[in-house]
A and B are shown apart, each in its own frame.
Chain A
Amino acid sequence: MEFEPRIVGFLCNWCAYSGADLAGTSRIQYPPNIRVIRLMCTGALDPIYVLRAFLEGADGILIAGCHPGDCHYLNGNYKARRRVAILKEILKELGLEEDRVWLRWISASEGQRFADTVKEMVEYLKAKGPSPMKNPIL
């Protein structure tokens, strides 16, 4: 059986989540590998939730919010970008496969971009294989 990666998506309410919603209402097809968690803003995402998702079995994490300059809260996405940079650097230094964390800017009107991003990520993770962080006994 082919490996089906599990992606946890942290999407901001105002842009990426609406973009995902648009993809659905527009009947754009995309793989069902993503489980979406809606946040008010990517700037509200503590890295602990990304880490927990990995340790609980996620193969990839998509963090998606408003394009730079478009944040509903003015600058939450810039703060998120710094936190993601820190998180990815830590994962990289510890050899924990930081390329499983994706940050993407998806506006409310970009249903197609959301679907394309999920497709692209699923293909990437299929090629990469399961995440080693989900070993059952921590």
Chain B
Amino acid sequence: MKSVIQTHGDPKGAVVGVLKSLLNQGVVKAWLLPLSGSGITYALVRDEGLLEKASPFAPVMPINLARAVSVVAKKGGAGKIGVLLRPCEQRAFVELVKFHQIDRNSVLVVGMDCLGTYELKDYASSANAALEEAILRQFKAGEATPYQGLNFRKACEVCVHFTPTNDGGYAPELALGLLGMDPYEAIALEGEPDLLKGLGLEEASEPPSRLEVISALREKRTAKRKEAFAETLGKARGIEGLRSYLSTCIRCHNCMVNCPICYCPDCVFRTETFDRTTSQYLAWAERKGAVPMLPDLILFHLTRMNHMATSCVACGMCTSACPMGIDVGTLFSAVGEKVQALFNYVPGRSLEELPPVAEFKEEEFLDLG
């Protein structure tokens, strides 16, 4: 069911009203969302008063929040937790449900349109309210222009999945529609009829301009994405290209730690699998003349790609997490897109489609063997 909430000049207040109402009705036991205080803090909020500090529209993403969902709702069985997710977080959420890292029935998702987010350090050193208002004002026309002197995160600049609903696929319990709307007047709210009725909302249709704005933005972003991916794949091509692309990597593994898809607690790179004795290192150095230290730079990135590219949601948190500014995300999403195309798989699109690494067909890739 579709509905519209009137915001009377206060979009944040209107959304907080919805959150409070769902908490008071007992639909959710708590909300997992960003609070603003000194900067942005994600929190599991039980106290109604603290919801006043919720900051649903802050254009920043300290972590992919799906990771936090898998912390609080892995086992489930204790009631529903409401969570406010951007589209890339929502896609990661869907993947993590399919990888059994989140108990689907323990979570109520509120999705939202997203025009882009800033790097955390840029956000932290800027006037937060001004950034937020600037982006809210851009939803009507659907043209994302970064605040003066700043850039959106690279992944956001080429994001094509910026709405929470997709045809016939997974849709969150509630979806805040901002594109094509003036959030200072009204926000579209689509979702389960019971929830909307419980909120006292009537069926109402969104303005037709909303769909036009969405498709225009998608078209523009698709072109930009294609260009960025081709450029990156051109740069990282061949072993020399790849080495040069990753040449400033300091092996901190932050890209892996911040990747929502790299959830494995027993990741091979955290274990002793490839530890060697001194004599083995010496033999290795003798054979090759020299061994890079720390070892396994290319091995790490290529292996991680093999393990998670099929489910890469292109959230770009790896790029944001890289202290050396390597654009890991564009590389991984460019390759990921090609790998996903082999299986006609779009990460986060549906809860029913199994991740490519979790199934097989008897009649496929017949030319490989």
Closest to B339 in A: A89
Of listed A52, A75, A95, A137, residue having the most chain B CB within 10 A: A95
A-contact bits for B196-208, CB 8 A (1 contact / 0 none) = 0000000000000
The contact of A82 among B238, B241, B268, B356, by CB within 8 Å, is: B356
Name A67-110 residues within 8 Å CB distance of B: 68-69, 75, 78-79, 81-90, 93-96, 103-105
> CA A78 – CA B356 in complex, angstroms?
12
> CA A47 – CA B305 in complex, angstroms?
10
Name B326-369 residues within 8 Å CB distance of A: 334-335, 338-339, 342, 356-357, 360-362, 364-365, 368-369
Q: For B302, what are the chain A residues with a Cβ–Cβ distance below 8 Å?
A: 51, 90, 94
Rank and list the top 8 A-B pairs by shortest CB-CB distance, nearest first: A78-B360, A95-B237, A47-B306, A95-B238, A48-B303, A136-B288, A85-B365, A105-B369
Indicate the size class of the contact surface on chain B: 35 or more
Interface size, chain A (Cβ < 8 Å)? 34
Query: Closest Cβ of chain A: how far from B191's Cβ, in Å?
Result: 36
Query: Closest Cβ of chain A: how far from B240's Cβ, in Å?
Result: 8
Closest to A68 in B: B362
Known contacts A81-B360, A90-B305, A93-B334; is-contact A103 B268 (Cβ 8 Å) = no
Q: For B296, what are the chain A residues with a Cβ–Cβ distance below 8 Å?
A: 138
The contact of A96 among B238, B309, B365, by CB within 8 Å, is: B238
> CA A79 – CA B356 in complex, angstroms?
10
The answer to whether A46 has its CB under 8 Å from any CB of chain B is yes
The answer to whether B262 has its CB under 8 Å from any CB of chain A is no
> CA A84 – CA B268 in complex, angstroms?
19
Query: Closest Cβ of chain A: how far from B181's Cβ, in Å?
Result: 38
Determine if A82 and B360 form an interchain contact, defined as CB atoms under 8 angstroms apart: yes
> CA A8 – CA B331 in complex, angstroms?
28
Closest to B234 in A: A95
The answer to whether A22 has its CB under 8 Å from any CB of chain B is no
Interface residues of A (CB under 8 A from B): 46-48, 51-52, 55, 68-69, 75, 78-79, 81-90, 93-96, 103-105, 132-133, 135-138
Known contacts A48-B268, A86-B342; is-contact A138 B243 (Cβ 8 Å) = yes
Determine if B237 and A94 form an interchain contact, defined as CB atoms under 8 angstroms apart: yes
Determine if A90 and B342 form an interchain contact, defined as CB atoms under 8 angstroms apart: no
Known contacts A86-B356, A138-B297, A138-B298; is-contact A93 B303 (Cβ 8 Å) = no
Determine if B239 and A81 form an interchain contact, defined as CB atoms under 8 angstroms apart: no
Q: For B242, what are the chain A residues with a Cβ–Cβ distance below 8 Å?
A: 94, 96
Query: Closest Cβ of chain A: how far from B296's Cβ, in Å?
Result: 8
The answer to whether B77 has its CB under 8 Å from any CB of chain A is no
